[in-house]
């Protein structure tokens, strides 16, 4: 299995702090069946997590060497998780932050509260102008997605891939996130899953998430998120993308609320 999102790279964000932490996380992930890890340290300007790519590469090589010494046969790939703010467009360049391994995709996120679809979509447009694309990290955690999951249709139609956290399925964050990720999975609004591990616990909890996920989407689809989809993604190949279904919000008094799709059908933001 492939983990496309984690904070294993030590000493640069709120994930692993030491090389021992990094190794413990890799071992915990490997014990749950992960053989490939895309290390995606935060590039988050407001919290001062701005370790440049050149520095990250040095730490990355240290972890790879340590894995070899310990006889861990895992594949490590370097990326970033970019928290959107306008300054990212001014800092664009391989020496500052990077795409996910050799792909053309940048992993992007926004704040849980008060983030906007518009800011993210404008960043997606900026990346398109550079010939690049985006993976949206854990949108189930954003309040504007929780309010209306259909906002993701804008992203998906624009070619953005959606990556959810498997921990979202087991109330690891909060109940609203759990409800939202379930809606997203049921409406084909998820293409990839990741751990977003900041410590070993995220891997230790994988079996609980798997049990819920398999119940929801079936064994084949669940495995595909971590194997076929993630593998094709990393090799720049296409994988099956099912047309998403708009979410019909249940109304308070038993009536089903039809989704208002006019704003997606009649005009786009970009």
Residues in touch with Fe ion (CB under 5 A): 81, 196
Nearer to Fe ion, 153 or 192 (CB): 192
Nearer to Fe ion, 226 or 247 (CB): 226
* Smallest distance, Fe ion to C-beta of residue 154, A: 22
* Smallest distance, Fe ion to C-beta of residue 13, A: 8
* Smallest distance, Fe ion to C-beta of residue 105, A: 15
Nearer to Fe ion, 194 or 244 (CB): 194
Chain centroid to CA 249: how far?
25
* Smallest distance, Fe ion to C-beta of residue 84, A: 13
- Chain residue at closest Cβ approach to Fe ion: 196
* Smallest distance, Fe ion to C-beta of residue 6, A: 7
Nearer to Fe ion, 3 or 81 (CB): 81
- List of residues 6+ apart from 241 with CB closer than 8 A: 191
Nearer to Fe ion, 3 or 196 (CB): 196
């Amino acid at each position: 299995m492939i983990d496309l999102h984690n904070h294993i790279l030590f000493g640069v964000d709120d994930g692993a702090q030491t090389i021992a932490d990094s190794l413990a996380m890799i071992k915990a992930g490997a014990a749950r069946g992960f053989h490939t890890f895309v290390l995606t340290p935060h590039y988050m300007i407001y919290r001062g997590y701005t370790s440049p790519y050149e520095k990250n590469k040095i730490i990355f090589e240290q972890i790879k060497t340590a894995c070899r010494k310990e006889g861990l046969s895992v594949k490590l790939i370097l990326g970033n998780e970019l928290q959107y703010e306008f300054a990212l467009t001014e800092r664009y360049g391989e020496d500052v932050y990077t795409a996910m391994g050799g792909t053309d995709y940048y992993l992007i996120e926004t704040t849980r509260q008060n983030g906007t679809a518009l800011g993210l979509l404008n960043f997606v447009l900026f990346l398109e102008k550079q010939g690049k694309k985006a993976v949206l990290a854990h949108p189930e955690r954003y309040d504007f997605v929780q309010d209306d999951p259909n906002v993701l249709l804008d992203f998906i139609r624009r070619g953005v891939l959606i990556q959810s956290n498997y921990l979202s399925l087991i109330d690891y964050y909060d109940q609203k996130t759990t409800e939202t990720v379930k809606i997203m999975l049921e409406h084909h609004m998820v293409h990839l899953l990741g751990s977003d591990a900041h410590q070993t616990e995220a891997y230790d909890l994988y079996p609980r998430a798997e049990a819920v996920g398999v119940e929801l989407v079936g064994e084949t689809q669940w495995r595909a998120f971590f194997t076929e989809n993630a593998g094709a993604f990393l090799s720049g190949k296409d994988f099956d993308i099912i047309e998403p279904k708009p979410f019909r919000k249940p109304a308070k008094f038993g009536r089903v609320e039809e989704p208002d799709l006019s704003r997606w059908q009649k005009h786009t933001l970009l």
